[in-house]
């Protein structure tokens, strides 16, 4: 199972990041969930976490310092993308991980 996590925020503490879309970070995670479900049925699990919940202090600190831009995309727990949710690249990572 490939685990993808999208880290975002509601914008209260961290601002909105750099992803140029009208979609919220949660909606972007839902988009990835739907596309992955169609393309890789039963092989991908997608979760969304809000950085304001305090469950990802390392990433939250790096975002606060301006080192990373939201949204963050983790695959198998490793940071793969920042500042956007690039489906084509995510799809390539899924294929690579599945083998």
Q: Where are the domains of the chain?
A: 2-98
**Which pLDDT value is given to residue 14?**
57
Look up the CATH superfamily of 2-98.
Hypothetical protein sa0798. (3.40.30.30)
pLDDT digits (tens, 9 = 90+) for 1-59: 999 999 999 865 555 444 455 789 999 999 999 999 999 999 999 999 999 999 999 99
Whole-prediction pTM value? 0.89
* Residue 90 pLDDT exceeds 90: yes
Q: Tokens at residue 13, please? A: 């503490």
> For residue 25, which of 84, 93, 86 has the smallest C-alpha distance?
84
**Which pLDDT value is given to residue 36?**
97
* Residue 98 pLDDT exceeds 50: yes
How far does CA 22 lie from the centroid of its chain?
A: 16
């Amino acid at each position: 199972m490939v685990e993808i996590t999208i880290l975002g925020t509601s914008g209260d503490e961290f601002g909105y990041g750099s992803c140029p879309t009208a979609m919220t970070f949660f909606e972007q995670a839902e988009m990835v969930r739907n596309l992955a479900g169609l393309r890789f049925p039963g092989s991908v699990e997608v979760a969304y976490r809000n950085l304001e919940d305090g469950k990802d202090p390392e990433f939250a600190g790096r975002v606060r310092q301006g080192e990373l831009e939201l949204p963050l995309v983790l695959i198998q727990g490793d940071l793969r993308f920042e500042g956007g949710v690039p489906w084509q690249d995510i799809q390539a990572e899924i294929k690579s991980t599945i083998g």
